[in-house]
Amino acid sequence: MKLRADQLSKHLASPLLPIYVISGDEPLLAQEAADAIRKAAREQGYTEREVLDIDTGFNWGNLTAATQSMSLFGERKILDLRLNGKLGKEGSQALCDYCEHAGSDTLLLMQCPRLDRSAQRAKWVKAVEKHGAMLQIWPIDRQQLPRWLQQRAQQIGLNIDRTGISLLAERVEGNLLAAAQELEKLRVLVGDQSVSGDAVNSLVASSARYDVFKLIDCVLQGQVAVALKMLRSLRNEGAEAIPLMGAINREMRNLYQCAQMVNRGNGIDRVLDSAGVWDKRKPLFKQALGRIKEAELAELLRLAQEIDLSLKGQREGEPWEMIDHLVCRLAGQPLVTA
């Protein structure tokens, strides 16, 4: 079946399907959907969990081995797959085979990047829809964002007026992770008090701390020295590298897809509109796309996968140094000392 994000909560109150695939490039919504499925699975007796990271060279025999190992102990288990790129021919066939023989003792949960129209017609996607659920995570658009912010504020006990919501929507420009962080920051600062537009303006503007999204904007503008300074400030403040790389990866994939469409002869303004780039960020994307070519972006995405492996201890290398290198290359300049 095809499942929408707004249907998930009601769906999870029923007996779970054996297979769930979450597809999308909005990290916050995808992560929260996965968390909700895992929570429901635990409540329905799936007591074990195994995580498999699917990178280049992944042995798909591990999927078969993981499912067969279940019967040795009689435990119900969540098999958590993390797909960082494309599934590939071997992976597609392995997943199709798995769908045909899926059992009730194993819940397969796979997270993957956004699927384009061509990928959505793939055989493995149809197999998942037949035997399980395919959950596409779509970005929140401009019109939906204020309502989403208001609902999010209510969930965390924050009372904020319409003017404040509008100011926040303008600040975060569609980045839901930034929005969630700003709301949490306001909740900590004001507690049970009501938050007006003026309060939002002063509280948010008073924060001089470098954040991930300012860093990404500097990278898109090619401001490598400033970006490195921000990156090192984030590191010194104890920022975690995995969420940081998630945000950078999201932006690079968006850039790469835009570069592909431009190279096929599409006008850049139309491309940016179709990619959901907010008006205020279009100049940044145009700068970056004028500086970085499609092939270079593909190489940087491969470097990001290496960083991911390093962060998980599956590859040698110091992750933060590799992130420095990635940021410099994405900014279009050699590594310098900030």
Residue 75 lies in a domain: yes
Asked if residue 199 and residue 219 are part of one domain, the reply reads no
Residue 337 lies in a domain: no
Instruction: Identify whether the C-beta of residue 219 lies closer than 8 Å to the C-beta of residue 227.
Output: yes
pLDDT bracket for residue 146 (50, 70, 90): very high
Residue 109 and residue 19: Cα distance in Å, rounded? 6
pLDDT at 105 (0 to 100): 85
pLDDT in tens, 63-99: 777 666 654 556 788 989 888 777 888 888 888 988 8
Asked if residue 198 and residue 260 are part of one domain, the reply reads no
Residue 338 lies in a domain: no
Range of the domain at 282: 212-330
Residue 135 and residue 282: Cα distance in Å, rounded? 29
The H or E element spanning position 1 is: none
CA-to-CA dists, residue 184 to 32, 140, 156, angstroms: 16, 19, 8
Asked if residue 164 and residue 189 are part of one domain, the reply reads yes
Q: What's the structural domain count of the chain?
A: 3
Domain end residue (candidates: 102, 136, 170): 136
Q: What is the dihedral of CA 63, 28, 251, 236, to 10 degrees?
A: -100
Residue 306 lies in a domain: yes
pLDDT at 68 (0 to 100): 65
Asked if residue 231 and residue 191 are part of one domain, the reply reads no
CATH number at residue 189: 1.10.8.60
Residue 8 and residue 314: Cα distance in Å, rounded? 33
Instruction: Identify whether the C-beta of residue 62 lies closer than 8 Å to the C-beta of residue 69.
Output: no
CATH number at residue 222: 1.20.272.10
pLDDT in tens, 39-49: 999 999 998 88
Beta-carbon-side half-sphere exposure of residue 337 (alpha carbons within 13 Å): 0
Residue 275 lies in a domain: yes
Maximum Cα interatomic distance, the chain, rounded to a whole number of Å: 61
CA angle 20, 24, 29 (to 5 degrees): 85
